[in-house]
Structure 1
Amino acid sequence: MWLWLIIILISLACLFCFISVIQLELRKRSAKLWIILTCCSIGGVVAALVSAPSPDIQEYSYHSKPPNIKIVETTPKDTSSDDGIKKGKKVVVTAVELYVRASTDPDARILGSVNYGNILTVLDAPADLDLVNIQTGYGLTGWVLKRHVQALPEEKIPEQALPGEAAQ
């Protein structure tokens, strides 16, 4: 590429020089312009020669290397872990406020709400649903989201606390 650039610039310099000589012989005023163009093209040749890459410089490839990716096969984690929420067990509310709904439908009527720390009794905990059928200490029965309640171990339940009252 550099070689072609230098050849073209030298050819232009020769052409401009030839035209300059003819213009000077004919004593035309445009001869100065052709002399200036000749000097510029000679300057271009010099600049191209100075900036030409050295043959000692190693050529670099612009092709990217393939990435070194190690593929590891994994097995999915067992999501059916026992969270301890079973029929007849006590659970504690872990959300600030948790709505109690009339059915498992997400748009079901809201019967009331329970607050953080309330202890509830589990009436039904279907494994295929993210809902738990509960009963509060004051008799409210309905469905709440399973992820917002946590099973209580038997030794953690206060003896004087009734279901629906806040654990202390």
Structure 2
Amino acid sequence: MIRTTAIAAALLAAGPAFADAHTEIDLTATGDAAAGESAFRQCQSCHVVADPDGEVLAGRAARTGPNLYGVVGRVAGVVEDFRYSDIIVTAGEGGLVWDEANMVAYLLDPTGHLQEVTGENGRGKMSYRVRAEDDALNLYAFLAQFTAPEGTGEETN
């Protein structure tokens, strides 16, 4: 009986870690993509959404921030040839993926979210903050539309 209880306790303790390591990230968008398109006007002075062929799908040809094509589901801080802050690179190395919860938290408080995720005191480069959670949710829904179709082999970084 004691052995069975010990094994059960060990399995219960290990369960959450095992589940986290083998669970796909939920990239569901709960916001309104059309409202997000309108909210994106505030973002386009720094960001663009351009597909792998270079076609601009949203925004202008801004290059202050990274291209946001394929950002949903991507690890933070990995767009080639973009110079990220150290803290966002650290967050990405630690496994930060742009799902709805992370993106909304980041958009509402970029540096604060990165500090919380990494435990470091660095600063992110994005100084703009989205003021309302609904706007952040809508932006996520808007950006979620811009991903490479599955099975195409196109990179989304």
Shorter-chain TM-score tier: under 0.3
Larger radius of gyration: 1
TM score, norm. by length of structure 2: 0.20
Q: Which has the higher contact order (CA 8 A, sep 6+)?
A: 2
Structure with greater strand share of residues: 1
TM score, norm. by length of structure 1: 0.20
Structure with greater helix share of residues: 2
